[in-house]
Structure formats: C-alpha cells, structure tokens
Structure 1
Amino acid sequence: MHPSLANIGAYIKTNTLALAPAARAAGTVQGPAIDTGAFRSAVLAVAVGAAGGAPTGFTATFTFESRGSTAGDEGAPGPWATVVDRDGQTLSVVATSVDGAVELDLDLSFMGDDHDQLRVKQVLSFTGGSSPTLLTGAVLVQGGSNRLPV
C-alpha cells in the first residue's frame, strides 16, 4: 500500500491555527501571520458553532491575505494584500448555518511572488437579534511540501 494512503499525516501539516475559536460579534477579524514556508497548497477548514443573541440569520465570509515578511522598508513586513485567483477573483467561502463546517482551497502560487506569509480574514454580519455572536474558528491544513515528512 502506498504511504499516502496509510500515512496521510506524513504529507500534510494540520496543526496551524488560522483563527482561534471564539464567540465573535459583527465585524472583521484577522488571524495571525502564518509562514507558508515550503508548502505549495492549503485548505482552510472553518468550524461554525452556536449563535448567541438570537439572530435570525448571519453570514461569515472567510478570505485570505498575504504579504512578504521582509518586503517593506529595512526588511520590515510589507502590507497585507487580498489573495486572488488567476482571474483576479477574491478567494472566499461563506458560512450561513450554525453547527457546521466550510472549507476553502488555496494554491499558494496565488500569493504575490515575494509573499511568504498568509492570514485569514473573517467578516461577520448578522440579521436581527440582540447583541448577536457566533462561535467560529479555523485551521489551515498545508500540503505539497518539498520535503517529507512535514
């Protein structure tokens, strides 16, 4: 049996927290900077939990932003830029129901040529409710490394 079938853990990295689990109010939040290193692809796995404050609906939109770690003045990190596909479309996934999960695939070549850091951006909006919140969190699964095991 091929190792990719019996030992998938040697081919992917799953312990990168892209967005810490938390009950969040409406607005925008970004996750921490993640060094993409030798990886060539990734999957954002988002978990959506319970809603508080009795909203009648919500949308949680997840996108990616990237930057170069030393692209700015005197080796400082450069500005964050939205990651787009080859057609210039923003890569995004939208969650609209509680107690579920969504995923978003990413070819890391979509990042800028000098970009080596990635972060997740969540924009959350609600319909109705009284001070509504939504429990969300995300993990970035990375693969396609030029070395094994990852």
Structure 2
Amino acid sequence: MNANSTDAGVLVAIRSGTAPAAVVAGSRNSAAVDRRGFDSCVLAAQTGSASGGPTSLTLAAKLQESADGSTGWTDVAGAAIEPLISENGVARVNVRLPTAKRYLRVTETVSFTGGTSPTLGASSTLVLCGPDEIPAV
C-alpha cells in the first residue's frame, strides 16, 4: 500500500454482480468478473420490494470461481451471504481470495412461499480489494 495514501478508493474496485431487477423464483448468475490483482472482496446483496403477496421470501447469494470465466464454476468456500428473508434487506460477506481462481461470479437464488406470481427486487455488488494501490481505469 502507498504509505502516503489515506484514500480507500485507491485500494478497491467496484464491480456489478447481478443487476437490480424484479426476480422470480429460481437462480441467476452474474457475468464473470476478473479478480486478477485483488486478494479479497466483499459480496453485498440486497432485496427491494416484493410483489404478488408472498407469505415468505428468501434471497441467497454466493460467489463461484472459474479458471477461464466460462466453464467449471465451483463455489468459493466461505463466500455466501446469510440469506435475506425480508424486503429491503442488505447482507454482506467478507471473502479472502489468495487461492481463488481468476474469475468470480455471483449466483443468486430466490424462493417464495405463497403469493400469485411473486417477484422480488434484488441485486448484488462485488467490492474487490487489492494489496496495493489499484491503477486508475
């Protein structure tokens, strides 16, 4: 780390996980994110409003890794949020990445009990952190 830097912004990079959307029950994956140069991250997921009157809802999110960004996706150990079970919730998990493969993606799973064609506003974000100052893009 640059000893003269007190700005956290030089150490992190924000990457979109899943785009904000009204999501039906099931799973969706983000695009691959290249983590080269970063040795840790925070996965943050959030819920918005639900429609369709479900009696309960769940949003689970986790990180997966791949060597090439398109095949062989596997779960990253310890990289799942505590599932969100209410509207307008936020959860996060801190993840060390020193042995992770080069590419990451977010996998979200939404489930409902009851309701008529329910949907849930959901999104996720990755905050990648490097051991040194990140060059401006």
TM-score by length of 1: 0.80
Q: Pairwise CA RMSD of aligned residues?
A: 1.7
Unaligned 5+ residue runs, structure 2? none
AA of the residue aligned to 1:92: A
Amino acid at match of 1:66: E
AA at the equivalent of 2:5: P
Aligned-pair CA distance for 1:12: 1.1
- Structure 1 position 82, deviation (Å): 1.1
Structure 2 match to 1:74: none
Q: Look up the match of 2:106.
A: 120
* 1:79 paired residue among 57, 69, 72: 72
Equivalent position of 2:88 in the other structure: 99
- 2:10 counterpart letter in structure 1: A
Aligned twin of 1:88: none
Corresponding residue number in structure 2 for 1:35: 34
Per-residue deviation, residues 38-82 of structure 1 (Å, max 9, x unmatched): 000000121210001011111111111101028xxxxxx541111
Deviation, 1:144, is 2.2
Match of 1:11 in 2: 11
Quote the Cα distance in structure 1 between the aligned partners of 2:10 and 2:98.
Answer: 22
The structural deviation recorded for 1:108 is 1.0
Structure-2 change in CA distance of 1:60 and 1:110 (3 Å): farther
Q: 1:149 to 1:84 in 2, by over 3 A?
A: same
For residues 79-118 of structure 1, what are the alpha-carbon distances to aligned partners after superposition, in whole Å with 9 as ceiling and x for unaligned? 1111114xxxxx311111111211121111252xxx2000
Contact 2:20 2:122 in 1 (8 A): yes
Distance 1:78 1:22 in 2: 25
The 5 Å alignment of 1:63-78 reads 63-69=62-68, 77-78=70-71
Q: 1:148 to 1:119 in 2, by over 3 A?
A: closer
The percentage of counterpart residues that share the same residue type is 31
The 2-side partners of 1:61 and 1:100 are apart by 12
Residue of structure 1 in register with 2:129 after alignment: 143
| Aligned amino acid, residue 104 of structure 1 | V
Distance 2:135 2:11 in 1: 6
Q: Which structure: greater helix fraction?
A: 1
Residue 73 (structure 1) aligns with = none
Structure 1 residues without counterparts, runs of 5 or longer: 71-76, 86-90
Alignment-mate amino acid for residue 8 of structure 1? A
- The aligned residue for residue 48 of structure 2 is 49
